[in-house]
Amino acid sequence: MNGLFLTFISPGSELIRLGPFILRWYGLLIAIAVLIGLNLSTYLATYRNIKQGLINDLLPILVLCSVIGARIYYVIFEWREYKYNLFETLAIWKGGIAIHGALIAGSLAVFLFCRWRKEPFWDVLDVLLPSVALGQAIGRWGNFFNNEAFGVPTDLPWKLSILPIYRPEEFADYQYFHPTFLYESLWNLLVFGFLIFLFQRNIKGRLKLPAGALTFFYLISYSFGRLWIEGLRTDSLCIASMPPFCEGGLRVAQLLSILLISLGTLGLFWLYKLQRKMPEQGISKK
């Protein structure tokens, strides 16, 4: 057997151009992810103590805050590229968003929304995060079409062909790179499957997960994948001169992944400690 030989070649970021109107692959993929996430989270919400229609009301606010947060997060760590051209900070169609910024801003939006509507914060997060993981799996293909977020050069049977215009200067003579978009897409798909498995087992009473457990399981499982995948990327956001994490700097996503793994682990201990002190509250089927 010759093994698997698979070369990815991006067709470009634009799907359709009609005069001034441009439909980009990234935008289409995000729209698909949002629609799928809306339906999935609405379905999962029927198994939690969440009012009907709440996910529909929350979604526009959540998407807007997540996109703004993702962009602000990216611009902060790439300020040297934007400080002389502030208009470019708004050019999100050119790429430059960070999932960790979206998670931070999105979580804050959900928290404030739940306080306003007097809804259970942890339950709402638990039904949203499987959709987030699936949305990440879909959205990562936008990096493929944009020729971005790829890894270091590789000669593996599976690889990504990058045009010279998109290659970092130090790798200008290389053609094939790690398809890190694919690695993270597949990892997020596994995270999604893991969360749905836990959710279903909980519904059937085979697990007794307290509200918020799925959220912390997401933080741990997603961050483990991001921790090693980030080590392959050539475009990581860096914050300090501290090799070998990043050439010229420490990789922000790896540092944050370690913090989120720690937070998720401590969060699970906290939830189960509370569960032991309180009467068991199972999740009933409706």
In tens, the pLDDT along 164-221 reads: 999 998 999 999 999 999 999 999 999 999 999 999 999 988 888 999 999 999 999 9
**pLDDT tens digit sequence for 95-118:** 677 899 999 999 999 999 999 999
Query: In this predicted model, which residue has the larger pLDDT, 56 or 2?
Result: 56
Residue 36 backbone phi and psi in degrees, to 5: -65, -45
Domain ranges of the chain: 6-277
Is 281's pLDDT higher than 60? no
Sign of the CA dihedral 81, 84, 90, 94?
negative
Q: For 116-120, which contacts have Cβ atoms below 8 Å and span 24 or more sequence positions?
A: 117/51, 117/54, 117/57, 119/50, 119/51, 119/54, 120/48, 120/49, 120/50, 120/211
- pTM of this structure: 0.89
> Contact 142/14 with Cβ under 8 angstroms?
no
Alpha carbon distances (Å) from 218 to 19, 254, 282: 42, 16, 20
Sign of the CA dihedral 258, 196, 41, 134?
positive
**Where do we find the tokens 């836990």?**
198
Residues 6 or more apart whose Cβ sits within 8 Å of residue 2? none
Nearest residue to 180 (alpha-carbon basis) of 234, 250, 258, 254: 234
> Contact 180/234 with Cβ under 8 angstroms?
no
pLDDT score, position 128: 97
